[in-house]
């Protein structure tokens, strides 16, 4: 915590308590899906997210290009990058090509509560935060597409943030379980990007599978026809049937579902110029995101 406070020129005790004067993207924060938690508990991690976003924006290589508000138009743009398919890698590459940084916060200091994801606007530049420490591309695809939806749908004003504290299996893919109109819209936007009605109809025709490997095999075959991720189909199936143990096992059979965190930091390293940043800020980014220049 002391090192982070020094890098940000902040008081360490105040940072640990989230007791800091809000400015920039944290001047106007909306915490979502927080019925059972205290939003103030997430102020420190939100401040760190905002500070790293500011630093990365100052060194990003690509100017921001406005996203299509129409989900099908945006999906076609992603599909073109993914060579006909929409998966985590295509989503990630699309964001960076549009000048929307996607930043991992997988290594926040111990004791700090962190969000699953967030969409920030630093000035007029949007940033996506993926803080959930999960290596499954299928799980993170929904969070990424959800935050992308917030941006495309115009939910963010300049210098504001939407922090999604928890996008867990109880709420993910369940776009009718919240009374928050923005969350409802972002959920539906994400589901349409990742597969749309055809993905839903496909897995609804599936019966109970005898084994996880059978579920994985069927999901991969369907995904090839639909141009979506097999892991996404498995998660949709799990939400509908509540067969989460089988789904978790099935994901392990998908080699393409691994190493999500590595892909996030690799994209970040390609998208910014570290030499534009001070040594302290570089060190902060390396520690919080998990990026190591020695491994690149």
Residues 182 and 96 in one domain: yes
- Average pLDDT by consecutive 10-residue portion of the chain (296 residues)? 46 47 56 68 84 90 95 97 95 97 89 88 94 92 96 93 74 53 93 95 87 94 96 94 92 94 94 89 89 74
Task: Tell me the sheet residues that pair with 290.
Answer: none
**Residue 170 falls inside a structural domain:** yes
**Residue 176 falls inside a structural domain:** yes
Q: CA 26 to CA 51: how far, in whole Å?
A: 9
Tell me how far the alpha carbon of residue 231 is from its chain's centroid: 16
pLDDT given for residue 280 in this prediction: 84
**Residue 84 falls inside a structural domain:** yes
Cross-sheet strand order for the sheet of 117-122 = 29-32, 160-164, 117-122, 125-130, 102-104
pLDDT given for residue 296 in this prediction: 57
- Token duo for residue 214: 């059978």
> What is the tally of structural domains in the chain?
2
**Residue 7 falls inside a structural domain:** no
Residue 160 has φ and ψ, to the nearest 5°, of -145, 165
Among 289, 240, 293, smallest CA distance to 55 is for 289
pLDDT given for residue 209 in this prediction: 76
Residues 264 and 119 in one domain: yes
Range of the domain at 115: 21-194+259-291
**Residue 35 falls inside a structural domain:** yes
- Token duo for residue 227: 């141009």
**Residue 9 falls inside a structural domain:** no
CA distances from residue 291 to 114, 153, 170, 207 in whole angstroms, order as listed: 19, 31, 31, 42
Residues 186 and 250 in one domain: no
**Residue 11 falls inside a structural domain:** no
Residues 66 and 179 in one domain: yes
Residues 39 and 128 in one domain: yes
Residues 111 and 135 in one domain: yes
Residues 74 and 127 in one domain: yes
The string of DSSP codes covering the chain is -HHHHHHHT--HHHHHHT-S---GGGSSEEEES-TTS-GGGGHHHHHHHHHHHHHHHTTBSS---PPPSSHHHHHHHHHHHTTT---HHHHHHHHHHTT--EEE-TTPPTT----SEEEEEETTEEEEEE------HHHHHHHHHHHHHHHHTT---TTEEEEE----TTTTT-TTS---HHHHHHHHHHHHHHTHHHHHHHHHT----SSHHHHHHHHHHHHHHHTS-HHHHHHHHHHHH--HHHHHHHHHT-GGGS-HHHHHHHHHHHHB-GGGS-HHHHHHHHHHH---GGG-
**Residue 211 falls inside a structural domain:** yes
Residues 58 and 92 in one domain: yes
pLDDT given for residue 168 in this prediction: 56
CA distances from residue 136 to 37, 69, 146, 173 in whole angstroms, order as listed: 25, 27, 16, 16
- Token duo for residue 65: 């290009």
Residues 138 and 176 in one domain: yes
**Strand 125-130 to 102-104 pairing:** parallel
Q: What is the pTM of this model?
A: 0.88
Residue 239 has φ and ψ, to the nearest 5°, of -65, -40
Residues 141 and 76 in one domain: yes
Residues 61 and 175 in one domain: yes
Residues 130 and 63 in one domain: yes
- Token duo for residue 127: 């940033």
């Amino acid at each position: 915590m002391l090192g982070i406070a020094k890098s940000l020129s902040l008081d360490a005790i105040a940072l640990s308590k989230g007791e800091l004067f809000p400015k920039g993207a944290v001047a106007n924060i909306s915490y979502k899906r927080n019925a059972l938690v205290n939003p103030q508990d997430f102020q420190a991690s939100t401040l760190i997210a905002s500070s790293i976003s500011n630093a990365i924006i100052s060194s990003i290589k690509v100017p921001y290009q406005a996203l299509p508000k129409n989900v099908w138009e945006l999906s076609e743009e992603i599909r073109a990058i993914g060579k006909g398919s929409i998966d985590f890698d295509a989503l990630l590459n699309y964001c960076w090509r549009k000048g929307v940084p996607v930043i991992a916060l997988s290594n926040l200091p111990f004791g700090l509560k962190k969000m699953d994801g967030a969409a920030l606007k630093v000035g007029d530049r949007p940033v996506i935060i993926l803080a959930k420490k999960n290596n499954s591309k299928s799980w993170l695809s929904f969070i990424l597409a959800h935050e992308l939806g917030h941006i495309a749908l115009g939910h963010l004003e300049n210098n504001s943030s939407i922090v999604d504290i928890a996008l867990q299996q109880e709420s993910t893919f369940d776009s009718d379980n919240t009374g928050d109109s923005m969350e409802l819209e972002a959920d539906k936007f994400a589901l349409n990007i990742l597969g749309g009605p055809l993905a839903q109809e496909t897995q609804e025709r599936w019966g109970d599978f005898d084994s996880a490997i059978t579920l994985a095999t069927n999901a991969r075959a369907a995904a090839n026809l639909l141009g979506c991720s097999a892991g996404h189909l498995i998660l949709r199936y799990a939400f509908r049937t509540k067969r989460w143990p089988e789904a978790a096992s099935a994901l392990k059979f998908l080699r393409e579902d691994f190493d999500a965190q590595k892909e996030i930091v690799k994209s970040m390293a390609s998208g910014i110029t570290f030499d534009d940043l001070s040594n302290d800020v570089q060190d902060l980014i390396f520690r919080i995101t998990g990026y190591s220049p020695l491994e690149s």
